[in-house]
Amino acid sequence: MEKSGNISRCVSVNADPLQTLLTYTDCVSNWVSAELVICDSVKAQTALLARFLAVGKFCYEMRNFATAMQILSGLENVIVRQLPAWKVLPLKVCAVLEELRAVQVFLKSDNLCLMEGRQTRARPTLPAPHVLAMHLQQLEIGSFTTTSGSHKWTKLRNIARVVSQVHAFQENLYSYTPDLELQSYLRGRIARLGECDVSLLASDNNVNFNQMASDRHGRRIQDTLRRVKASFQ
């Protein structure tokens, strides 16, 4: 699903390749959030939330950090975090969210963390685009030359080492058989919900307010929705 032919419906055809990938990443995260807020019952919402967490866990265990972090970002949406489903989700399932957060911290901790260990480097890997771009951006801060005009070769080498990871990862492909029907379905859902306004979708669904507990909790969600809406006006 990461190929440009599969993401062109979410981004401009003429967009920069890196920007295309980052935009697609945001679309997937937004889709995750949207699917949760449009569920027609708390039961369905809880089941879908558990499924997303399970997929996120499977992805990071298979070193598909791209999808794992896309799912985490969707679940960390300010609206999604206040949905009723979290209140009834089993603690064991909730613990997966903490695992995903720990993976995110690990990925951000070191720009070469995915290259540690010979066996690890030999496994298929999909890095998280936003995290990798963040590391490169941090390395690029400041001048590339000294006051005398000579190049800062250490700086350039560090950038090259981080970029070279992408080439290394491309050498080891996943051996899964593509499920074309599933891919087509997911592309359609992401194209439909990838750029929608999650707060508006949530505000139109009473499940997000009335199925759980106290009126105060419902008012807190509604207040959050109003603040989010106001920030875009």
Q: Is the pLDDT of residue 41 over 70?
A: yes
**Residue 176: DSSP 8-state:** P
Nearest residue to 100 (alpha-carbon basis) of 70, 68, 64, 58: 68
Range of weakest confidence among 38-47, 118-127, 203-212: 203-212
Give the Cα separation of 16 and 233 in Å (integer).
29
pTM of the model: 0.83
Burial class (CB in 10 A: 0-12, 13-18, 19+), 93: middle
Range of weakest confidence among 33-47, 101-115, 200-214: 200-214
- Phi and psi dihedrals of 32, rounded to 5? -55, -50
Give the Cα separation of 133 and 121 in Å (integer).
20
Q: Is the pLDDT of residue 63 over 90?
A: yes
Q: Is the pLDDT of residue 233 over 80?
A: no
- Residue 2 pLDDT grade (very low, low, confident, very high; cuts 50, 70, 90): very low
CA dihedral 71, 202, 228, 87 (to 10 degrees): -70
Quote the percentage of the chain above a pLDDT of 90: 62
Range of weakest confidence among 68-72, 73-77, 148-152: 148-152
What local confidence, expressed as pLDDT, does residue 149 receive?
86
Range of weakest confidence among 62-66, 161-165, 206-210: 206-210
Assign 64 to helix, strand or coil: strand
What local confidence, expressed as pLDDT, does residue 71 receive?
98
Nearest residue to 56 (alpha-carbon basis) of 19, 94, 27: 94
Q: Are residues 126 and 67 in contact, defined by beta-carbon separation less than 8 angstroms?
A: yes
Model pLDDT for residues 117-139, shown as the tens digit of each residue? 766 677 899 999 999 999 999 99
Q: Is the pLDDT of residue 211 over 90?
A: no
- Residue 187 pLDDT grade (very low, low, confident, very high; cuts 50, 70, 90): very high
